[in-house]
């Protein structure tokens, strides 16, 4: 008895022309989406009672339809006095997401990402990551280096 392997279908058998056109359009759309990342590699000190900009992403063009995922992160935040720091993601100066980080005296806390999906209106939109000391005294320091930067990234998702 001789074994005969079943025929392997060609791509044309699996994908119709209409499906192929949709896939090509989706791939084109993906290549045209905006994605930017800004890294700050120098520590930022003096984070006290007013907002301090930790990072600014390049502007993106909003149209009221495109949605962007905006993510801010950094390695650690510390202070000589215990307290709470508020992290803010802003779009053109307006807060769109906040996060809180508690610091022990002379200690540091890591900063996992703070993320938000945002659909800006028509025109240019600039995203910033900012920090302010909410409780406690003395300024805080956001550490940064080439291997552990302060980072703000913007990625178009729709």
- The confidence score (pLDDT) of residue 111 equals 73
Q: Which helix (H) or strand (E) holds 13?
A: helix 11-14
CATH of region 34-156: 2.60.120.760
Q: Where are the domains of the chain?
A: 34-156
What tens digit of pLDDT does each residue of 20-53 get? 666 665 555 555 677 888 888 999 999 998 999 9
Q: Which pLDDT belongs to residue 114?
A: 93
Chain center to CA of 76: 17
3-state secondary structure of 157: coil
Compute the Cα dihedral for 133, 134, 138, 140 and give only its sign: negative
pLDDT single digits (tens) 93-143? 999 999 998 888 877 777 778 999 999 999 999 999 999 999 888 888 998
pLDDT digits (tens, 9 = 90+) for 54-82: 999 999 999 999 999 999 998 888 888 88
């Amino acid at each position: 008895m001789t074994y005969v392997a079943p025929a392997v279908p060609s791509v044309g058998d699996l994908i119709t022309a209409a499906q192929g056109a949709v896939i090509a359009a989706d791939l084109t759309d993906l290549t045209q989406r905006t994605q930017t990342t800004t890294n700050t590699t120098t520590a930022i000190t003096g984070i006290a009672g007013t907002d301090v900009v930790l990072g600014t992403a390049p502007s993106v063009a909003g149209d009221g339809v495109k949605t962007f995922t905006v993510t801010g992160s950094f390695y650690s935040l510390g202070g000589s006095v215990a307290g709470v720091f508020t992290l803010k993601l802003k779009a053109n100066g307006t807060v769109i997401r906040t996060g809180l980080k508690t610091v022990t005296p002379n200690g540091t806390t890591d900063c996992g990402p703070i993320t938000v999906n945002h659909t800006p209106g028509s025109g240019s939109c600039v995203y910033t990551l900012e920090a302010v000391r909410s409780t406690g005294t003395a300024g805080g320091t956001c550490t940064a280096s080439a291997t552990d930067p302060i980072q703000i990234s913007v990625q178009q998702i729709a």
